[in-house]
Amino acid sequence: MSTTTDQIQGGGTCAELPERTLDRRELRDLVNDLAAHPEEWRDQVDFPADGGRHYASLYRDAYVDVWLLCWRPEDDTGWHDHDISSGAVHVVRGALRECNPRIGGEHLETVVPAGQSFSFGPDHIHRLTGAVDESVSIHAYSPPLWRLGQYSIDGTGVMRRVSVSYADELRPMDDPITSVA
């Protein structure tokens, strides 16, 4: 059964979504579709003069959660997971750097340029930073975010997880210079 979603905050309508948890492919299709319709989110883009990452909730229902995030190179989520939620990200401007931790080796680092997207399951741990000035991305999660795991990795490689609310802004719990390879 399908239902038409509510208005997203940019003023347009989100695509029809099923009344159930979306899988990774569906989430990726959703962020790709929204990226192709900037009239639905463009007015939410902001880079505050006082710095800091800007983010805006575009849509949330019982099954999906959609966000617009604006990044500068100094913006860093720190290591985190999305608890029980799968997710997808589409970079609409600039580029993001995604790092994945590697036990006993250098962390895997990928630069995701504008026009590209990626998806992940609830077991995915990563860290996102802006790779260039003024990057913009659209993120979708299903089920909607309620909790996230935030991680620190100490100098000996020990990883620790702390559960945080989705409403808390993610930031590094460790030294980003030594933790991001």
Q: Binding site: which residues?
A: 80, 82, 126
Tell me how far apart the alpha carbons of residues 171 and 11 are, in angstroms, rounded to a whole number: 30
Strand, coil or helix: 138? strand
**Sheet order of strands, 127-130 included:** 108-113, 95-100, 127-130
> Using CA atoms, how far apart are residues 20 and 12, in angstroms rounded to an integer?
22
Q: H or E element: which one contains 24? A: helix 24-35
Residue numbers belonging to the annotated binding site for Fe cation = 80, 82, 126
Tokens, residue 26: 């569906």
Phi-psi region of 62 (alpha: psi -120 to 50; beta: other; left: phi over 0): alpha
